[in-house]
Structure formats: C-alpha cells, structure tokens
A and B are shown apart, each in its own frame.
Chain A
C-alpha cells in the first residue's frame, strides 16, 4: 500500500539559508501534519492542514511557513535557518471522517535536516 512520501530524505544547509521540505500524503488523504523531532527528543507538532486550509498550529517558528496544495501535498518552508533547526521533520497524513471523528495519522519516514 502507498505510504506517506517525504522529500528529500536528507538535506544539508548552512546557517541563514532556506529549505523546503515536501510531503506527499497517502492517496485520498486530505489532512497533513508536520512534526519536528530534535536529536533525542520527542516529536513536536508544528502545523496541520485540512483541505488546503491551516487547521491547527503548534510550536512552529515564525521563520517557518507551510501550505497545502490542490493535490493535497504540503510543503514546509524554512528561512533564516539556525543550528537549532537541525532535526528530523515528519509529515503525517490522515483522512477526515464524514461527520467528524478521529482517523489514524500515518507518518512518513521523515526528512533529516542538518544545519551547519
């Protein structure tokens, strides 16, 4: 079965550069979530989108922005990179149930960002 695809899998940038991470959800999934996992840390929720609209916001820095496109893929844009941004960035997708209710989030393999 198709899973969540993230690209690139690895990215090396220097301080003050910009980076764009991409997430392709499971086909038919309409909701995308972004998480940041620092070295040895638990994943922290950044932001989520449902039907191309931001649905929830967590601890996302102002230097970061994200959007979901008409094909439901999402991009996380990171500017003025700092050393502390080095982390594993996970994307997850889910399908919103008609009438509300929980549906499982499926996680991608992550993009490892290293800021030098």
Chain B
C-alpha cells in the first residue's frame, strides 16, 4: 500500500537557520504530494503541494520539489522563525479526486530565538 516516511523529530533549530525535513513516499500510481502544518492546539493547514513530477510547491518561504526518481518531497526553508515552530506532516493522495490522504508520522520543529 501507499506510505509516507519522514525524518524523525524533534528538530530544534536557532532562528534564521536553514531547515530541511526529509520525506519519501511509496505509491502505486502518480500521487499528489503535500506538506501540512499543525500549530499547537490547531487543525491541519495546507502549507504547499505538488501534483506532478518536478513541480515545486512553495508558500511562506517553504519549498518542496516533487522528485519522482527519488520518490521524495523534502521540505526546505532558508531562514526559519520562531513562529514556524509546529508539527509538519508530509502526505500523499493517490487519487486525482483528492480522496483519502496518507500522512507521514509528522516532524516536530522547535525554533529557538
């Protein structure tokens, strides 16, 4: 079945540090890939997405490129802020109709001032 693997957390960085959270996936078809962010006590928010190979999703300084050859969708940000502290979930949807997601285990990011 489909699955998503993320680097284990927690990840602790100083403000303005470079962030990478690795994500790799296994899927039978050609999934769409997503990064969701969950701030403390809140619901999941879509951070960015990519629907086909070589697409780059970007939002709020975060970027991720859909790499079919390595089945990866690593999340990067050049300079993190304290407000980026949250849990980040990589997810895939293998259905063009946006049906059920498969989420990775989440990576907790703590950014220290």
Query: Which positions in A face B, CB cutoff 8 Å?
Result: 4, 31, 33, 35, 41-45, 48, 55-56, 58, 90, 92, 94, 96, 100-110
- How distant is the Cα of A102 from the Cα of B32 in the complex, in angstroms? 9
Contact B98 A103 (CB under 8 A): yes
Query: Which positions in B face A, CB cutoff 8 Å?
Result: 32, 36, 42-46, 49, 51, 89, 93, 95-106
Contact B98 A105 (CB under 8 A): yes
- How distant is the Cα of A35 from the Cα of B101 in the complex, in angstroms? 9
Contact of B100 among A56, A101, A104, A106 (CB under 8 A): A56
- How distant is the Cα of A108 from the Cα of B43 in the complex, in angstroms? 6
Contact B103 A43 (CB under 8 A): yes
Contact A109 B104 (CB under 8 A): no
Shortest beta-carbon distance from A22 to chain B in Å: 15
Contact of B99 among A4, A48, A104 (CB under 8 A): A48
| A residues in contact with B97, CB < 8 Å | 96, 100-102
- How distant is the Cα of A10 from the Cα of B55 in the complex, in angstroms? 39
Given contacts A105-B101, A107-B43, A110-B43, contact A42 B89 (CB under 8 A): yes
